[in-house]
Amino acid sequence: MNIEEYKRAMQEVNVDKDKIKLRFESSMDEKKKKHLRIVQPNNFNRKIRICVTSLILIFMLINVKSLNNADVANFTITVYASDLNKELLLSKNPVSLSTSNQFNIQAITNEGKNSETGSVNFDLNFKCEGKNIRKITYQLSDKTISRENRSEAVAWFAENDDSYGTIPDSTSNEDVSVYRSYRDNTNHTCYVTKMIGNSYSVDYENQNDKQYALEINLFQNEKGELEAKKFTITVILTLDDGSTLEKHILVRPLIADTSEYEISKIEITLK
């Protein structure tokens, strides 16, 4: 595929500037009249409406927040859903996690075991909200995961670094296990993903300071098709008084095309 051909095609696409100018000029008079006639009273009414609506919304938000904070045991977990724009409250009903930020890593380098192994990396946008929470720990059901045995693990946590730089000479560094890169005109730059393992903890106050990610392994079944296994993430909250609270999240990755290293949907459910 030669993208230069797209450029050449686009160069042939021309707009009739005179037509655009004419259309613009003819719509101007009408627009001017309309503005002169209606703008003042409408603006006033509009401002009143906006003020009233804003006050109602602020009032509702304050009430909802105070209700949520009323009971520590009912802490909430929010996630970015599949359209990336909404934060949904996690409940017993399955929520589709956003899969738009996925990067597939096929044939992991320096593994030395199985060149067919591949995994898919997602930005993990979990956020816990509640009262008197000091620390949050996310833990996978899998046993301890290291760089050596991660090809056998169902999934592991990673930290994605958005401050991109040039591609490192070697990926043999223990921390920088894999990377994703792109070519931008002349520069070859990359985003680095550092493997964490099967658990990580964050302070409640700055839980979203870093971009944590989930790396899901894809396995080949007897038919040679790719599949991902479901697993559980345990969320452990440590409160100010030292006590702990737990919630369990079932993660179910689904693959639409079993020959592609790509996950089409991730359903998560509160157990």
Query: Distance between CA 35 and CA 99 in Å, rounded?
Result: 45
Residue 180 contacts another protein per CB under 8 A: yes
One residue of 12, 169, 222, 241 binding another protein per CB under 8 A: 12
Number of helices followed by number of strands (H, E) in the chain: 2, 16
195 SS3 class: strand
E strand or H helix at 269: strand 265-270
Binding of another protein at residue 33 (CB under 8 A)? no
What Å distances lie between residue 111 and 131, 149, 151, 172, 195, CA to CA? 43, 9, 8, 10, 14
Quote the least distance from Cβ 34 to another protein, whole Å.
Answer: 11
Residue 14 as a binder of another protein (CB under 8 A): the answer is: yes
Output the smallest distance, CB 9 to another protein, in A.
4
Token pair, residue 172, equals: 């043999």
Q: Kindly state whether residue 166 participates in binding another protein, applying the rule CB under 8 A.
A: no
Question: Given the rule CB under 8 A, which of 18-26, 69-77, 148-156, 220-228 is the region that contacts another protein?
Answer: 18-26
Give the x/- contact pattern for another protein in 210-229, rule: CB under 8 A: -x------------------
Comparing CB distances to another protein, the nearer of 45 and 221 is: 45
Pick the closer one to another protein by CB: 126 or 204: 126
- 9 lines the binding site for another protein (CB under 8 A): yes
Asked if 110 and 171 count as a contact pair (C-beta separation under 8 A), the reply is yes
Output 201 or 264, the one with its CB closest to another protein.
264
Under the criterion CB under 8 A, does residue 32 sit at the interface with another protein?
yes
What are the C-alpha distances in Å from 230 to residues 78, 224, 250? 20, 19, 7
Is residue 37 at the binding interface for another protein, with CB under 8 A as the rule? Answer: no
Q: Which of 101, 137, 207, 238 binds another protein (CB under 8 A)?
A: 101
Q: Which helix (H) or strand (E) holds 118?
A: strand 118-123
Four-point Cα dihedral 65, 68, 69, 70, nearest 10: 120
- CA 152, 175, 80, 234 dihedral sign is positive
Nearer to another protein, 67 or 84 (CB): 84
Neighbours of 108 (CB within 10 A): 21
Would you tell me which residues interact with another protein (CB under 8 A)?
Answer: 1-3, 5-10, 12-15, 17, 19-21, 23-25, 27-28, 31-32, 35, 39, 43, 84, 100-103, 123, 160, 162, 164, 180, 182, 184-185, 191, 211, 262
